[in-house]
Structure 1
Amino acid sequence: MLYSCMNNTKWSEIRQAMVNMTSPPLWKTTFLNGYESAVDGEWFYHFSEGGYSDIQYLDVLTNSVEQHVEVGAILRSIHVPGIMTSTGYRILGYADSASSVAYL
């Protein structure tokens, strides 16, 4: 069974923070039904299109050390559930009940 780790406010905070960056990172989402979006760089309209309720996780794809550090600081300030990956960060929208969820 999956449980929600995020809410619309937190997703909106991520969206707004990325929109405000000078050089926003790319992103892609995986949905509860298994669909994986294409990699996208447009945070203002595309990220919020369709709402957030079915996002299983969001991959934020950083392209430089500087961007990685900046995005990490932003995500920690928002205090979101997720992990650092080899390509950036994965933010969990849902997790299973057996998993331990860490917060950035």
Structure 2
Amino acid sequence: MTLPPALPGDFVWGAHMARPSDYYSVANDTKWRELREAVLMLTSSDQPRFRCKNLETGNLSQWDGEWFYHWSSSGWDWMEWAELSVETAHQREHVRAVLRRIRFAGEQTTAGFRIYGYVRNGEAAGYIE
């Protein structure tokens, strides 16, 4: 499987680190927990891979697909955004249905979806439709 490259805005070593006061929260622990539970209810072939950007450090995680332990191992208060990678149109529609039901702020990408935990002050984020 080929995973998508980094997008503009992804962390670059040596770049300015984000300050939490520059952002406002658009997802709480309940939303992240509901996402985990909903993804675990999907068949394994419909579960997306994910990677996350840390708001405090700017670090971008490696792609992962283990939703039971890895997704929730360190909470979510640090997560600026998460990208969910899908491989098929069928998988995309199942993941989109989950994100719509939970009402996640985010956007569709060529690789799948980017969902937000925090958004920069002065910027708006729409919901996944």
TM-score past 0.5 threshold: yes
How many equivalent residue pairs? 104
CA distance in structure 2 between the aligned counterparts of 1:72 and 1:19, rounded to whole angstroms: 15
CA distance in structure 1 between the aligned counterparts of 2:28 and 2:67, rounded to whole angstroms: 17
Query: Once superposed, which parts of structure 1, at least 4 consecutive aligned residues long, lie more than 4 Å away?
Result: none
Tell me which structure has the larger Cα radius of gyration.
2
Unaligned runs of 5+ in 1: none
CA distance in structure 1 between the aligned counterparts of 2:106 and 2:126, rounded to whole angstroms: 6
What secondary structure sits across from 2:72 in the alignment?
A: coil
Unaligned runs of 5+ in 2: 1-21
RMSD over equivalenced CA pairs, Å: 0.7
Is 1:16 the counterpart of 2:40? The answer is no
Which residue identity is paired with 2:30?
T
Select the structure with the greater relative contact order (CA < 8 A; seq sep ≥ 6): 1
Equivalent position to 1:42, from 66, 75, 78: 66
Equivalent position to 1:67, from 83, 91, 95: 91
Of all paired residues, the percent bearing the same amino acid is 37
